[in-house]
Amino acid sequence: MKNKPTLMNTSPVNKTQKTEQLTDAFRIFNELSQHLSVSYQGLEEQVAKLNKELAFAHSERLKTLEEKERLASRLEKILAALPAAVIVLDIRGKILDCNAVAIDFLEQPLLGQIWPDVIARSLLAVVDNPHEYRLPNGKRVNMTCRHLENNSGQIVLLSDVSEMRSLQDMLNQQKQLSAMGEMVASMAHQVRTPLATAILYASQMNNSVLDNEKRSRFSEKILERLQFLEKQVNDMLIFARDGRLAMETFSLAQLLDYLSEAFKDYAGRKKIDLKIINHAFDDEMLGNQNALRGALMNILNNAVDAVGQAGIIQLSVDQLNDHLRIVIKDNGPGIANAACQRVFEPFFTTKTNGTGLGLAVVNSVIKAHGGHVQAESRPGEGAIFALDIPCINRERFSLPGGFSGRNHNKNRNQKAML
């Protein structure tokens, strides 16, 4: 017996529910589609905006790079045209960059070199100016250093001052010639008075009524006046040379012995103690001994005049590497501050019978030796003259094997003279 097929029971209620569900699903799908469409449109707008911003930023970046390239090219042209040497150092003092003038001044190699080594190789210090150096070709340059930001290095500028120094030398020469004319005019009566005195005494020498004692005293007076004239002429000659002196080797001990004896003659019967203290361990010097004698005696004579009838004068010598430091001090009344600043000017004097050339000659002689001299004084506390002279003769000690021929024990004794 065959079974009959069973028909599904689909009520109208079930169909209505399915229809509503499908409708809701389509509605939700439409809402999601619409939302996705809006979101996609917003993304497209955002992408378009970002593309515009990126294009603008790229354009601005290109403009900035072009501006920097133009600026770099301009700076490069300026550095190339600059008449000074520019050297860029890193924090360790190594040369990172330089311009063509630096290579012309200092020669190769430069890049990657240590700056102090380049200075030792190509620059020679100038004694009278710590900021100036002399190049191997003879030019003089002024050095200026500036630190970079965050201490990341330095920039060194070397400026050629040779022409300026040449003009300054010409100006100094003109001043020297002008001073010479003034000196000749002012020295006329200084020479005439002692000369007239010497002539007067000399005219009496043949007088038969003179006894031997007066004749001897007249001879001393004539010799004294002639020695005064000789000193005036020597000062005039040294001042006229303007530092052009012949250099030769001499003994420091002999120079100090001469000063000791010459001091006795000038001090005469005055109760003035001269203490000479020599701490230099080298004795052989290189310089002009006669000029140094005259310069040092000028200071000692001024000290004698300042001290008066009784006092103490000390001359000390110390050696600092290749420099001699000579200090002369007295216990006199001292020098006024205003006068102390001008004591080395030609024809400036505080003495009634002075010429104003003594200390000017001292300054000229010391400069001719590559040194410098300075005066310090306070009223009532005496005066101090300090001379730094690079006159140690190093050629004598250039012996093989690093051997030095210095006599470390020579001239370390103290001399005293009443």
Amino acid identity at 235? D
pLDDT band at 196 (very low <50, low <70, confident <90, very high): confident
Higher pLDDT, 118 or 403: 118
Q: Buried b vs exposed e over 282-318: b needs ≥16 C-beta within 10 Å?
A: bbbbbbbbbbbbbbbbbbbbbbbebbeeebebbbbbe
State how beta strands 153-160 and 140-147 pair.
Answer: antiparallel
Distance CA 410, CA 279 (A): 9
- CB neighbour list of residue 348: distance below 8 Å, 6 or more residues apart: 339, 342, 356, 360
Does position 124 have pLDDT exceeding 50, yes or no?
Answer: yes
* Average pLDDT score over residue span 18-31: 81
Q: Are 89 and 148 in contact (CB under 8 A)?
A: no
What residues are paired with 45 via a beta bridge? none
pLDDT in tens, 354-413: 666 778 888 888 888 888 888 888 888 888 999 998 887 755 433 333 333 333 333 333
Backbone angles phi, psi at 92, to 5 degrees: -95, 5
C-alpha dihedral over 34, 37, 43, 46, to 10 degrees?
A: -80
**Residue 320: per-residue pLDDT:** 84
* Tokens coding 363: 């300054």
* Average pLDDT score over residue span 205-211: 76
Highest mean pLDDT: which range of 10-24, 158-172, 249-263: 249-263
Distance CA 180, CA 408 (A): 44
Class (C level, CATH) for 85-160: alpha beta
Does position 39 have pLDDT exceeding 80, yes or no?
Answer: yes
Please state the CATH superfamily assignment of the domain spanning residues 247-417 in this structure.
Histidine kinase-like ATPase, C-terminal domain (3.30.565.10)
411 sits in the region (left: phi over 0; alpha: psi -120 to 50; else beta) called: left
* Average pLDDT score over residue span 294-322: 87
Higher pLDDT, 90 or 180: 90
* Tokens coding 234: 């020597």
* Tokens coding 15: 């169909």
Residues of the chain with pLDDT > 70, as a percent, come to 79
Q: What 3 state SS string does the chain have?
A: CCCCCCCCCCCHHHHHHHHHHHHHHHHHHHHHHHHHHHHHHHHHHHHHHHHHHHHHHHHHHHHHHHHHHHHHHHHHHHHHHCCCEEEEEECCCEEEEECHHHHHHHCCCCCCCEHHHHHHHHCEEECCEEEEEECCCCCEEEEEEEECHHHCEEEEEEEECHHHHHHHHHHHHHHHHHHHHHHHHHHHHHHHHHHHHHHHHHHCCCCCCCCHHHHHHHHHHHHHHHHHHHHHHHHHHHHHHCCCCCCEEEEHHHHHHHHHHHHHHHHCCCEEEEEEEECCCCCEEEECHHHHHHHHHHHHHHHHHHHCCEEEEEEEEEEECCEEEEEEEECCCCCCHHHHCCCCCCCCCCCCCCCCCHHHHHHHHHHHCCCEEEEEECCCCCEEEEEEECCECCHHHCCHHHCCCCCCCCCCCEEEEC
Average pLDDT, the chain: 78
* Tokens coding 174: 């003109």
pLDDT in tens, 9-18: 556 667 788 7
Q: Is the pTM of this model over 0.75?
A: no
pLDDT band at 314 (very low <50, low <70, confident <90, very high): very high
Highest mean pLDDT: which range of 16-25, 164-173, 363-372: 363-372
Highest mean pLDDT: which range of 306-315, 333-342, 407-416: 306-315
Distance CA 14, CA 8 (A): 12
Please calculate the CA angle 179-180-184 and round it to the nearest 5 degrees. 115
For 94, other C-beta atoms within 10 Å of its C-beta total: 15
Higher pLDDT, 226 or 51: 51
Distance CA 288, CA 365 (A): 9
- Where are the chain's structural domains? 85-160, 174-242, 247-417
pLDDT in tens, 212-244: 788 888 787 787 777 777 766 766 666 666 556
**Residue 247: per-residue pLDDT:** 82
**Residue 395: per-residue pLDDT:** 53
Distance CA 338, CA 93 (A): 44
pLDDT band at 277 (very low <50, low <70, confident <90, very high): very high
Topology of 174-242 in CATH?
A: Helix Hairpins (1.10.287)
**Residue 400: per-residue pLDDT:** 34
Q: Are 389 and 398 in contact (CB under 8 A)?
A: no
Q: 283: number of CA atoms within 13 Å, CB side? A: 15
Amino acid identity at 285? M
Distance CA 222, CA 228 (A): 10
Instruction: Give the chain's end-to-end CA distance (angstroms, integer).
Output: 169
Higher pLDDT, 33 or 1: 33
Locate tokens 């190699």: which residue? 109
